[in-house]
Amino acid sequence: MHSKPYDYLIVGAGLFGSVFAYKAKLGNKKCLVVDRRSQVGGNLYCENQEGIHVHKYGAHIFHTSNKEVWDFVNSIVEFNRYTNSPVANYKGKLYNLPFNMNTFYQMWGVTTPAEAKAKLDEQRAEAVARMKEQGISEPRNLEEQAQVLIGKDIYEALIKGYTEKQWGRRCAELPAFIIKRLPVRMVFDNNYFNDKYQGIPIGGYNVLIERLLEGVDTRLECDFFAHREELEPLADKIVFTGAIDEFYGYQYGKLEYRTVRFETETLDMPNYQGNAVVNYTEREVPYTRVIEHKHFEMFGAEVEQCPKTVISKEYSSEWSEGSEPYYPVNDEKNNCLYLKYKALADMEPNVIFGGRLAEYKYYDMHHIVEKALNYFK
């Protein structure tokens, strides 16, 4: 006979906790999901304003090349045809992203891949020569990496200011890997991702989460640490998706994050910027980007039929207690600290640590789904 009311106590109703609960439910396991927020969904949660789904914790676009992950999320909710193609505004002039033939045309007036390649090669060679003068063969930081990848002109207009605002550090102090994930394409293709599949759930992310959690006992506004003594005896195992350093009472110190402040306003016009994402890449504009939420789910004539629009300006800053931890700062200092906490976590027989806060990793949604599904293989 089972002595405890639940098989799993899942701390956090974000994507990891929700997929885990769904799979456990299919396997006839009983779960209790608790979240300290007053709504489910974690950072995917959207608020309905003027009939527009406002991504309250940052814009989210689902993209993956993993067919199993794509089939899984589509078995829960259908996805629309949204393709992310952000535009960069540098001193009032617009450039397409990611770096592709459109960007090269806008930057240099080149119209063929051969002309663009010649220009890129010239600027890349200059960057390599500058490094050589200093006796360096491999890029040591983001500034050097970016110029070897894409040259000085694009680095200065589209990367430097944006990156320094986003990370609050000079490009020369940032690790090279951050910029390696941005595609460089010799074709006219503004699709930001290289992945095979992408889109937004039809009806919004809340539909996805609500369906995953259908029939699962859920308690909101319930902080695990405030109710630990009452909650822990309720289940055989705990699935913890909160911050790992908090789980251990910050005994080795606090892991660092970047946070984002969103300044959201409703405008009395149907279409503010004609695109979901516009990045402001110059240092002097204080925000990094402006999100116009309706463009994630409204296309063509639908945009003008909805008379209002909601935009969010994003301001990036250092995390402090009380603000939302968004981006883990995976530098050497923080990674070492994380490993100390992980060593403690590895010794817990009855706690599964999963998700972006518990693993202190910058996971996209598709990684999270894949990780949660893997527990049930």
User: Which sequence positions are flagged as catalytic?
Assistant: 181, 185, 258, 289, 314, 362, 364
**CB closer to ligand UDP out of 315 and 375:** 315
Residue 88 is a binding residue for ligand UDP (CB under 6 A): yes
- Residue among 43, 190, 191, 335 that touches ligand FAD (CB under 6 A): 43
Pairwise CA distance, residues 123 & 317, whole Å: 32
Judge contact between 356 and 362, C-beta under 8 A.
Answer: yes
The number of C-alpha atoms within 13 Å of 121 and in the hemisphere containing its C-beta is 7
- Residue among 6, 9, 10, 17 that touches ligand FAD (CB under 6 A): 17
Map the footprint of ligand UDP across residues 1-20, applying CB under 6 A: none
User: Using H for helix, E for strand and C for coil, what is the string for the chain?
Assistant: CCCCCEEEEEECCCHHHHHHHHHHHHCCCCEEEECCCCCCCHHHCEEEECCEEEECCCCCCEEECCHHHHHHHHHHCCECCCCCCCEEEECCEEEECCECHHHHHHHHCCCCHHHHHHHHHHHHHHHHHHHHHCCCCCCCCHHHHHHHHHCHHHHHHHHHHHHHHHHCCCHHHCCCHHHHCCCECCCCCCCCCCCCEEECECCCHHHHHHHHCCCCEEECCCCCCCCHHHHHHHEEEEEECCCHHHHCCCCCCCCCEEEEEEEEEEECCCCCCCCCEEEECCCCCCCCEEEEHHHHCCCCHHHHHCCCEEEEEEEEEECCCCCCCCEECCCHHHHHHHHHHHHHHCCCCCEEECCCCCCCCCCCHHHHHHHHHHCCC
- Residue among 103, 241, 281, 334 that touches ligand UDP (CB under 6 A): 281
**CB closer to ligand FAD out of 35 and 164:** 35
Which range binds ligand FAD by CB under 6 A, 141-149, 213-221, 222-230, 336-344?
A: 222-230
Q: Out of ligand FAD, ligand UDP, none, which partner does residue 272 contact, by CB within 5 to 8 A per kind?
A: none
CA neighbor of 262 nearest in space, from 75, 46, 96, 52: 46
**CB closer to ligand FAD out of 149 and 243:** 243
**CB closer to ligand FAD out of 16 and 99:** 16
Residue 12 is a binding residue for ligand FAD (CB under 6 A): yes
Pairwise CA distance, residues 100 & 185, whole Å: 4
- Residue among 7, 25, 29, 37 that touches ligand FAD (CB under 6 A): 37
Residue 201 is a binding residue for ligand FAD (CB under 6 A): no
Residue 224 is a binding residue for ligand FAD (CB under 6 A): yes
Task: Tell the smallest beta-carbon distance from residue 315 to ligand UDP (Å).
Answer: 13
Residue 218 is a binding residue for ligand UDP (CB under 6 A): no
Task: Tell the smallest beta-carbon distance from residue 159 to ligand UDP (Å).
Answer: 4
Pairwise CA distance, residues 49 & 55, whole Å: 10
- Show the site string, 154-193: x = touches ligand UDP by CB under 6 A, - = not: ----xx--xx--x-----------xx-xx-----------
- Residue among 177, 188, 225, 376 that touches ligand FAD (CB under 6 A): 225
**Tokens coding 112:** 């063929």
Residue 279 is a binding residue for ligand UDP (CB under 6 A): yes
Task: Tell the smallest beta-carbon distance from residue 289 to ligand UDP (Å).
Answer: 8
Residue 15 is a binding residue for ligand FAD (CB under 6 A): yes
Q: Out of ligand FAD, ligand UDP, none, which partner does residue 50 contact, by CB within 5 to 8 A per kind?
A: none
Map the footprint of ligand FAD across residues 286-345, applying CB under 6 A: 326
In the complex, which residues of this chain contact ligand UDP (CB under 6 A)? 88, 97, 158-159, 162-163, 166, 178-179, 181-182, 279, 281
Would you tell me which residues interact with ligand FAD (CB under 6 A)?
Answer: 11-17, 34-37, 42-44, 58-62, 223-225, 241-242, 260, 326, 355-357, 363-366, 368
